[in-house]
Amino acid sequence: MVGLDEIRMAAARIAPMIRRTPLRVSRGLTDMAGGPVWLKCEHHQETGAFKLRGASNAAAGLGRVAGVTTASTGNHGRALAHAARALGIPAVICMSRLVPANKIAAIEALGAEARITGASQDEAFDEARRLVREEGFALVPPFDDAAVIAGQGTLGLEILEDLPEAAAIAIPLSGGGLLAGVAAAARALRPDIRIIGISMERGAAMAASLAAGHPVDVEELETLADSLGGGIGLENRLTFAMCRDLMDDLILLEEAEIAAGIRWLAREEGETVEGAAAVGAAAVLAGRLDARAGPLVLLLSGGNIDPALHAAILKGER
């Protein structure tokens, strides 16, 4: 398990490398949820998503390497490319054909190679492992890594520093690095706080693995919450157990519900977010999540949505 000490050390290490993102109340969602709803606006982060925290913490701990690599659905790759450029080392980001073009372009704009390989996150990971094995690259995993988890956990510290009375945190759930880190920090500081994971119904690997009692393979399907796609790894070392032990509830959403969350946040809150970041608001709108037990924090994890897709969702075409 990753603990509070590691998360606090990560916070000190990455402070010069990231933004402390705002936490603000949502009046509209508060009215619906029966209690205060707060938005942690991590989509305002330097690279548009929370992934910069974990990637920066992991990359800062590397010694002399030929380069860095990872498999990514987009946001972690962009974060690692950003960190690698700051460190002056090459980066190769391996991605499947399902990754949106705007996320690929953002990675290439940072000077990294975006290597498209296979039809799933797992297949992209095979290429990243080959680079480690044959070319001497250092692997920075997108979620199942202690340094990455500790970096993501700094969000939990910020939330409780800004809102000590928070009763629950709703966290987008994919491979589990974000939920594991935030939950570890929050539970260490507030043992009674509720941790709620939210994902999509289409290809939610962590949800299927928790239901099975062990990591399982799940077909990766196209979804508006593309950042939540991909497997958790059959040899998962950390995030499966941490999510199993630290998460109180799990909500799975339909595509129409995710689209409604994106639209609400754009029209009512003025926030442009990707599908993964909209799942908390979507759960409130769908009546699946409330704040009657006390202040609820929704973690808006990223804003790197394709502009054409965002426009189509706002028009009700998706």
Residue 15 CB burial class (10 angstroms; 0-12, 13-18, ≥19): exposed
Single out the catalytic residue among 26, 174, 199, 301: 301
Single out the catalytic residue among 26, 40, 51, 96: 51
Q: Is 26 an annotated catalytic residue?
A: no
Q: Is 51 an annotated catalytic residue?
A: yes
Rounded to whole angstroms, the Cα distance separating 199 from 283 reads 10
- Residues with a known catalytic role: 51, 301
